[in-house]
Amino acid sequence: MNSGMYAAVSGSLAAMQRLDVISNNLANINTPGYKKDKMSFEGLLAGNINPPAVPQGMTADPILQKDNIYIDYASGPISQSGNPLDLALDGDGFFAVTTPEGTAYTRQGNFRTSVDGTLVTVDGYPVQGTGGASISIQGSRIEIDARGVVTVDGTETGSIPVMDFEKPYAMTKLGNALFIPADPQAAPQAGKAQIRQGHIEGSNVESISEMVQMIETNRYFEACSKVIKGFDDMAAKAATEIGRV
């Protein structure tokens, strides 16, 4: 494959992947606690260390696009909801929840109670209290202070700890608002964030920024497509003329 054609194809594939990332971010713009994905690129010269996916010709080594998708953990905007079960974290840290895959971590604090009074996420996963125990809420007057102490009708019923990890975070997404450590052996530590009852943290996706990136990526994809078509037309013309000779 011509090195120019290979570089254009590499750029097209990278643009398609970036469009997928941007589309997913925009789809979760209203998801509480959602952390957007970002994508960075690095230009590489294919060779013995970074061999291309197709056999090389006699031309110069093609330029490859090495992509890197990572999570932006910046806090989203915090707004007042008035719901006593809505909890927002002011600072770094996560709530711990119990899932079928084990303990996961989230900043999505729009909690609710299950039929038996257990504090759960919108997906029905129990929120972990101190020591990993679930939080039971049976009553009408619910108060949760900045340290996570839960008081129901004047009686303390448990505490919601804030967990954190060493930075930079090395975590993977489990769904749109849950995270698990990339290293299963990574031990969480006590977080310093304060809990704000009656507030909710929104998505950190900025719609205008994402739309601008989508337009830029679409134009980049179109440019790569035109380059590919140009090389294809040249190959067809060369084959026709050689055939005549």
User: How many Å apart are CA 200 and CA 185, to the nearest integer?
Assistant: 30
Low-confidence ranges of the chain (pLDDT < 50): 44-46, 48, 52-61
Query: What pLDDT is stored for residue 238 in this prediction?
Result: 67
Query: What pLDDT is stored for residue 60 in this prediction?
Result: 45
Query: What pLDDT is stored for residue 59 in this prediction?
Result: 45
Query: What pLDDT is stored for residue 229 in this prediction?
Result: 80
